[in-house]
Amino acid sequence: MEFTLDVQPPFSLQSILHSHGWIQLASFVSDAPYQEFNYTHQLNNNRVTAWHVRQEGSALLVNTDGQINGAEKAEISEKLAWMLDLDRDLSNFYAVAHQEPKLAHVVDKAAGRILRSASFFEDTVKTILTTNTSWSGTKRMVQTLVDLYGRPLPGDPARRAFPTPEQLAEVDMEALRLQAKLGYRAPYVSELARRVASGDLDLETYKSSTLPTQALRKELLAIKGIGTYAAANLLMLLGRTDYIPIDSYALKVVSEEFHDGVPVKPADVEAAFERFGEWKGMAFWFWDYAN
């Protein structure tokens, strides 16, 4: 089935897919230069569907793997709006970017929206799997979780959805550690899945939370496995851009960009972008480090 979603310019699907590495993680599938993508997802009614999404002018063209009913179309549309940050007004950030040559490309390329997964649970697990590992390690762990525990697409068992909290909650923690090879992250993923599946923690409400950023950050930090870097990364995905996700990559690029390669500390990363205030996370994320 094919349907369209309207988008408000300035908008660029390619810029969203280039916004960070999520497009390289299962259950996304896309080939460089990342102009369109496929995504496999288990809907609320437990049906596994696959979507192919591409931009045509001021609209997104969505093709599903089969016929869908009205409720399923509405759910897919709602989730794509979240995944592609469709409702975000970037005019204030663009006004800031206009004044900074290192951010001029953001306006030129209609960038600034950040790719998300369909659920904040999926984004939280993926963020945990970025900690203390290489990017290739993150991709391997995510793919293994999907291959072992995600439900397959009917007719194409090679394509699977990211496992739901309920599905991961049923997996023994030692299996996550040894079979999925999550290492020390296994207890964190296991506890998170159990808390969400039991209703003790409703991660999806964070998408529309009205809590001040400081209070929301405190709640994220209370989740086992979420430290200051991971909390900042999740805040960015939630549209809260006044914290910088500082990891080894951030230290490296700020060292090279602002300190002639001399090693820096997290405070130096913060200082480099402090002048951007509520947009400092965005300024760091989209800064043109190439020139």
Task: For residue range 191-242, list pLDDT tens digits in order.
Answer: 999 999 999 999 999 999 999 999 999 999 999 999 999 999 999 999 999 9
| Contacts of residue 79, Cβ cutoff 8 Å, sequence gap at least 6 | 41, 118
pLDDT in tens, 139-154: 999 999 999 999 999 9
Please, what's the b/e burial string for 103-135 (b: 16 or more CB within 10 A of its CB; e: otherwise)?
bebbbeebbbbbbbbbbbbbbbbbbbbbbeeee
Q: Is the pLDDT of residue 290 over 80?
A: no
Secondary structure (3-state) at 25: coil
Q: What is the pLDDT of residue 291?
A: 59
57 pLDDT band, cuts 50/70/90, is very high
| Contacts of residue 78, Cβ cutoff 8 Å, sequence gap at least 6 | none
| Sign of the torsion angle spanned by Cα atoms 263, 220, 27, 70 | negative
Query: What angle do the packed helices 120-128 and 135-149 form, to 10 degrees?
Result: 130
Secondary structure (3-state) at 20: coil
- The pLDDT of 151-176, averaged and rounded, is 97
Secondary structure (3-state) at 219: helix
Whether the Cβ atoms of residue 40 and residue 76 lie closer than 8 Å to each other: no
Looking at CATH, the fold of the domain delimited by 2-108 is given as TATA-Binding Protein (3.30.310)
* Domain spanning 120-221, CATH architecture: Orthogonal Bundle (1.10)
Q: Is the pLDDT of residue 42 over 70?
A: yes
pLDDT in tens, 243-282: 999 999 999 999 999 999 999 999 999 999 999 999 999 9
Domain boundaries, the chain: 2-108, 120-221, 248-286
* Separation between Cα atoms, residue 218 and residue 200, nearest integer Å: 17
* Beta strand segments in 125-185, E: 152-153, 156-160
- The pLDDT of 102-108, averaged and rounded, is 96
Q: What is the pLDDT of residue 132?
A: 95
Q: What is the pLDDT of residue 212?
A: 97
* Separation between Cα atoms, residue 109 and residue 106, nearest integer Å: 5
Whether the Cβ atoms of residue 53 and residue 40 lie closer than 8 Å to each other: no
Whether the Cβ atoms of residue 27 and residue 79 lie closer than 8 Å to each other: no
Percent of the chain predicted with pLDDT > 70? 100
